[in-house]
Amino acid sequence: MPPGGRGRSWRRVETMAKAKITPKKKTVGRPPKNDPDEVAEIQAKIDEYFKSLRDGEEDDPPTFSGLSLALGYSSRTSLWENANAKKLISEPIKKAMLRIESFAETKAYGNNAAGPIFILKNRGWTDKQEIEHSGAVTIIDDVK
């Protein structure tokens, strides 16, 4: 071993640095289900998903789980991650998710008030009452 404790791998790094060669990064894990730059491809999958709901025998509602499966993801978490990633495919995914939310909100405004109340609570509204008391409080110490 050369002085200073440098081994063979260190010499290779020094040689690469002198030649200004950067080592190739190893990719870890499996490749993504959808190419992050293929907006047209992801949009086609989204359109096909919503079209399949209309063409089905039943009137199936759009769901986040259904959209996840249509895009080839194995969980809704993957859908959220791809929607919030700063990639080109994020925008069509966000719009599809908004479409699902819109459908749910429309159905919630039915014959009772539970749906709109639920939606408003999820958006930060509260239904608690705040009561203000005025006047003095008198404490009677009557215990002997």
Cβ 70 vs Cβ 41: under 8 Å: no
pLDDT tens for the chain, 144 residues long, are 555 555 556 666 666 666 666 656 666 776 777 777 788 999 999 999 999 888 765 678 888 899 999 999 988 898 889 898 888 889 999 999 999 888 888 888 878 778 878 877 877 788 777 788 788 878 877 766
Number of domains within the chain: 1
Give the contacts of 82 (CB within 8 A, at least 6 positions apart).
Answer: 34, 71, 73, 89, 90, 93
**What is d(CA 144, CA 132) in angstroms, rounded to the nearest whole number?**
33
Domain-located, residue 49:
yes
Domain-located, residue 22:
no
Structural domain range at position 47: 29-116
**How crowded is the C-beta side of 26, counted as CA atoms within 13 Å?**
2
